[in-house]
Every structure is written in C-alpha cells, then in structure tokens.
Amino acid sequence: MPNEKDNNESIQQELHATRKVGLPRYFEMVGRDLWAFYRAGFLCAVGFLPGAVLLWFGLMGGSALYSLLGGLLAGLVGAPFVSGMIDTVLRSLRDEPGYWWHTYRRAWKQNWRQSLVPGALLGLFLGGWGWLLRTMLDGRFAATPSATLWVVAVVSIFICTGFLAWLLVQVPLLDLPLGQLVKNAALMFFGFFPRTLAAALVLLVYWGLTLLYMPYTIPVLLLFSFWLPVSAAVMILYPALDKAFKLEQTLAARRDAELDDYMADNDR
C-alpha cells in the first residue's frame, strides 16, 4: 500500500497537472489576488520612496555620492517590503489560502533582517547605474559615448538585474546564510538562463519605459507600481526554484506535520 509520503507526492503532481500555465495562469492569479498584489505593491513603493527622492536629487545634481546614498537608503528601507511583495506572489503561485495581511506581516517580520544585505546591493546598483547613465547622457565621459561603453552598460544592468532577481526571490523561501544565497543565485542565473533572460527583460522593459517617460507614466505607477513587474518576474523564476529546491513538496510536508501536531494537541 502507498505510504503517506507517496500520497503527498501524488497529490502535488495532480495539482501541478491541473494548473494552467503561461498567460492563462498569470491572469488567473491576478484575477484572484489582485487586491493583495496591489496592497503589497503599494507598500513596496512607500518603502522605496524616501531613498528614491534622495536618489533623484543626486541624479539631477550629478552627485555620485548622493546617488549612491539615495540608492542605499532605498534598498535598505525597501528590501523588507520587496520580500513581502515576493512572498505574496509566491503564496499565490502555490494557491495557498490565508488572510493576506496576516501572512504579509508574518513574512515581513521573518525576512526583514535577511533582506537587508540583498536590498543594500540592489540600492547601490540602482544608484550607481543611474548615476553612470546620467553621466553618459551628459557627455562627461565623452561628447558621444562609444558603442563599447553602451554595450558594457547594457550588459552590466542585465547581469545585475538577473542576479538580484534570483537573490531576492530566495529570501522569503529559504533560511540560508547570505553566502549560500549568493552561490545559489549565481548557479541559477546560468543554469536557468532562458528564465533569467525573460525575467530580467520584464523588469528592465517595465522600469526603463516607466522612468524614461516620467512624469507621463505616473498613472502607470499608481495602478501597477511594483506588483506588475514583480509578479511577472517571480512567476517566470518560480518553476526553476521549485525544481531546484522541491518547494511545494517540502511545504506540503511541513503543513501536514503542523496539522498532525495541532490534531495531537487537541486530542490530549
């Protein structure tokens, strides 16, 4: 007779088989959890706002120091909110029930310390690359930046975006030291390169167009803020994470153990 472990695995396989994929799956998630996505994205935008203001002033004044400080502040303050946003999307991908505010607060409290260093890296990257781009457009390096310089700038932002996406998406999922998270991010960047490319393009196209056409894209930010690009990018990366770490199987076993403990306590 099949044991309990085999039953759990068969149930998980049936759930995977019946789920929609691609755009139909994405629209299903958005239709069901739009309000949760929007609230998590709004809080994420609020978390980044103080640092983003300082970063903007640094870019407008051409100050590398203020640009880096603004990016660092944005990353440190905004990182726990990014983890909360990612956790919200991951729970939607796993079709987990639960009251959003309760699960969001719990994820925020559990992950805020672990998210600080990845957030600082994200903020320094944003500040440094933003200042570099502004300097190139102002002609400080050369009256007309060379094609090589533009290629280096584009490749660097793609590498950083893809790597940081893999790094940040692990924070709500895995309780591992930073060094191991960094190693995992590097391995998955290359090991699942098509997904890396797709997720990075989603993030870069959304934020590139949104920032390029400011202030005309302010309504876009009010409607979609962080939730649209983050939810799309996380959905692209999630199957690789599930394959690498057997997430749903592990979480299902954990929930079964918690339920067994709860039932045992009630029987006493």
| Domain count across the chain | 1
Residue 87 lies in a domain: yes
- Work out the pLDDT band at 8, boundaries 50, 70, 90: very low
Domain presence at residue 63: yes
pLDDT of residue 213: 85
What 8-state DSSP symbol labels residue 140?
S
What is the pLDDT confidence band of residue 4, given thresholds at 50, 70 and 90? Answer: very low
Q: What is the per-residue pLDDT across 213-233, written as a single tens digit (0 to 9) for each?
A: 888 888 988 899 899 999 999
Residue tagged 């050369």 (tokens): 142
Q: Which tops the pLDDT comparison, 137 or 235?
A: 235
What per-residue confidence (pLDDT) applies to 185?
94
Tokens of 203: 């993030």
Q: In which residue are the tokens 């983050």 written?
A: 230
- 230 belongs to a structural domain: yes
- The C-alpha atoms of residue 195 and residue 236 are separated, in whole angstroms, by 6
pLDDT band for position 262 (cuts 50, 70, 90): very low
| Mean per-residue pLDDT, 117-146 | 79
14 in any annotated domain: no
Percent of the chain topping pLDDT 90: 48
Cis peptide before 229 (omega within 30 of 0): no
Q: Is residue 266 part of a domain?
A: no
Cβ–Cβ under 8 Å, residues 166 and 188: yes
Q: What is the mean predicted confidence (pLDDT) over 4-14?
A: 49
Q: Is residue 205 part of a domain?
A: yes
Environment class of 110 (CB within 10 Å of its CB; exposed 0-12, middle 13-18, buried 19+): middle
For position 210, what pLDDT does the model report? 87
Q: Is 1 domain-assigned?
A: no
Q: Which band of pLDDT confidence, cut at 50, 70 and 90, is reported for residue 184? A: very high
- Residue 249: band (very low, low, confident or very high) from pLDDT cuts 50, 70, 90: confident
Work out the angle at residue 177's Cα, subtended by the Cα atoms of residues 9 and 81, and round it to the nearest 5 degrees.
Answer: 85
3-class secondary-structure state, position 179: helix
Q: What is the pLDDT of residue 148?
A: 75
Residues with Cβ < 8 Å from 78, sequence gap 6 or more? Answer: 44, 47, 48, 51, 119, 123
Could you tell me if 116 and 79 are in contact, meaning their C-beta atoms sit under 8 angstroms apart?
yes
Per the domain annotation, does 256 fall within a domain? no
Q: How confident is the model at residue 5 (pLDDT cuts 50, 70, 90)?
A: very low
The one-letter amino acid at 196: T
Domain extent for 88: 22-249
